[in-house]
Structure 1
Amino acid sequence: MSDLLQQWLPTMIAMLATGACAGILAGLLGVGGGIVIVPVLYFVLQGLGVSPATAMLVATGTSLLVIVPTSISSMRAHHKRGNVDWALIKRWWPWMVIGVIAGSSVALRAKGLLLSTVFGVIAILVALNMLLRAKSPPLARQLPGAVGQGSMAGGIGFFSVMMGVGGGTIGVPLLTACNYPSHRAVGTASFFGLLISIPGALAMLFASTPADAPEGMIGAVNLPGFALIVPLTVLLAPVGAWLGAKLDAVMLKRVFAVFLCISGGRMLMQVVQSL
């Protein structure tokens, strides 16, 4: 075994494992897998000698590109089960895209510490909401009016692209808080992932590559990471969708919250250590 292979083997194994977990989560939770991909890549890249700021930018950019095919696979599986609300998507997509464009602009100009903080704080807040309110009634009886829904869509796009995640991380809890059925929220959020990842990934591909980025970069996207992660995410997203259809709404929220706590907590620990 060559020295180069020995050096990259742990990273390759980590990427493949990340892809498997991300694929199942994409179908199960409608999150596009980014909630797993971003923190794992963040720590893996630092293990290769990349600075925390660059590691966060590369993790975010690579995750957004991975979410594109993953969301397509997940959306198709949910659409077959009738869980994608196309009427809601028609109302929300312009505002969500505007939010994504604004969030991409901030992400490319912000320091890695800010992106890490945004990721950790939002992930934990969403997780606490899901855990503490798993059996509580919704905060609202229905979705708000046009202005409120536009704000929700824009906010989902803005913060999701900064975190490098699909629309489910923020979109699912917001929809369910407005008395929206959980399984339908997850299915619809799988399409949010496309609205977020396509313009977000394009912005990252055309970004300037940091000086200390690893080999195989185009802009802020690591192509070897993408090539290793994406096959398993596409193959296993339908498996996650099948599992999601078997779980009740409360269990689905708990599973979602556990993964958010793990990933968000690890990210904030890294932020505190770097201060």
Structure 2
Amino acid sequence: MPPITDLVVFALALAAAGVVSGLLAGIFGIGGGAILVPVFYQVFGYLDVPEAVRMHLSIGTSIAIIVPTSLRSFTSHRKRGAVDIDLLKGWIVALPLGAILASVIAAMISSVGLRLIFVVISLGVAARMLFNQPHWRLGNDLPPNPWKWIAGVVIGTLSGLMGIGGGVLNNTFMTMYGRPIHQAVATSSGVGVLISIPGIFGYIWAGWGAAGLPPLSTGFINWIAVALIIPIALVVTPYGVKMAHAMSKRHLEMGFGIFLLFVGARFLYSIYG
């Protein structure tokens, strides 16, 4: 067991991650999972959580934290009238279905496989955001069903495999079809709610009875980390929302792209470093 001073340091690191994830939830409409998953991976590794379940535990715990941060972000954005409620209603089955599929896949995939999924999606979306051109569009409005519904399932599945709230992918999806980045960010907060709630139950099921999990874990969710981060993230999320509405479209895209590059590089290092 690590010395108490080291545990305090890591508790402070988790608290700092809570601040960052809360701001990100507000600024980008995401649940903050893209920063929490790498932090959890390091902390759980230091606590000697086996490699076989460490990434799974990191993702499941992140999903649990996304529920309240996404709800807080969604209510703040909705008050400003920026959320596409019709799109969320159309995805009320598709997104949870994708999240459940993700937990089934996570129960069968390796830690390295999960990290590679994280890297590929993060770097792909980062390239699109950083080098975005006006003609990089698939259409002037969202596609009709069944394509829009299928997109919801895909977003739910990939987000569930990354431990994120879907903002990373939904922001890309909506902007590629001509929607303003601010509307995409606001709507993504609702996407996070629809993915994370079923995701909690999925990751509890996927990790039920797994060996090597730390104390106070239910399946692939560690409630100590959840309890440390949620209160902090809830306090700072509304400040992130204010920042998002004060920033220009290009500033949002550039900030989002740089952030995703950092995340992708971090996980590449964890695999090959």
4+ long deviations beyond 6 Å:
none
Match in the other structure for 1:255: 255
Match in the other structure for 1:202: 201
Q: TM-score scaled to structure 2, two decimals?
A: 0.95
Alignment of 1:39-118 (within 5 A): 39-118=38-117
Q: For 1:194-240, what per-residue CA distance to the aligned partner results, in whole angstroms no more than 9, with x for missing partners?
A: 11100111122233243222222111111111111111111111000
Q: Residues of 2 paired with 1:264 and 1:106: CA distance?
A: 21
Match in the other structure for 2:178: 179
Q: Residues of 2 paired with 1:127 and 1:41: CA distance?
A: 22
Q: Secondary structure at the match of 2:92?
A: helix
Q: TM-score scaled to structure 1, two decimals?
A: 0.94
Q: Residues of 2 paired with 1:101 and 1:147: CA distance?
A: 19
Alignment partner of 1:138 is 2:134: no
Q: Residues of 2 paired with 1:60 and 1:226: CA distance?
A: 12
Match in the other structure for 1:160: 159
- What amino acid maps onto 1:47 in structure 2? Y
Q: Residues of 2 paired with 1:176 and 1:52: CA distance?
A: 37
Please report how far the alpha carbon of residue 139 of structure 1 lies from its aligned counterpart in structure 2 after TM superposition: 3.5
Superposed CA RMSD: 1.5
Equivalent pair of 1:121/1:268 in contact (CA under 8 Å): no
Q: Which runs of 5+ in 2 are unaligned?
A: none
Equivalent pair of 1:134/1:253 in contact (CA under 8 Å): no
Q: Residues of 2 paired with 1:9 and 1:57: CA distance?
A: 24
Q: For 1:173-201, what per-residue CA distance to the aligned partner results, in whole angstroms no more than 9, with x for missing partners?
A: 11101001111111111010011100111
Paired positions, count? 271
- What amino acid maps onto 1:234 in structure 2? L
Q: Residues of 1 paired with 2:81 and 2:50: CA distance?
A: 44
Equivalent pair of 1:100/1:158 in contact (CA under 8 Å): yes
Q: Residues of 2 paired with 1:200 and 1:240: CA distance?
A: 24
Q: Which runs of 5+ in 1 are unaligned?
A: none
Q: Secondary structure at the match of 1:109?
A: coil
Q: Residues of 2 paired with 1:31 and 1:134: CA distance?
A: 23
Q: For 1:231-264, what per-residue CA distance to the aligned partner results, in whole angstroms no more than 9, with x for missing partners?
A: 1111111000000000011110111111111111
Could you say if the C-alpha distance between residues 137 and 162 of structure 1 is closer, same or farther in structure 2, counting changes exceeding 3 Å? Answer: closer
Equivalent pair of 1:58/1:220 in contact (CA under 8 Å): yes
Q: Residues of 1 paired with 2:38 and 2:133: CA distance?
A: 25
Equivalent pair of 1:135/1:250 in contact (CA under 8 Å): no
Equivalent pair of 1:67/1:194 in contact (CA under 8 Å): yes
Q: Secondary structure at the match of 1:146?
A: coil
Q: For 1:9-63, what per-residue CA distance to the aligned partner results, in whole angstroms no more than 9, with x for missing partners?
A: 1210111011000000000001110011111111221122223332101100100
Q: Residues of 2 paired with 1:64 and 1:181: CA distance?
A: 26
Q: Residues of 1 paired with 2:225 and 2:133: CA distance?
A: 35
Q: Secondary structure at the match of 2:88?
A: helix
Alignment partner of 1:18 is 2:38: no
Q: Secondary structure at the match of 1:14?
A: helix
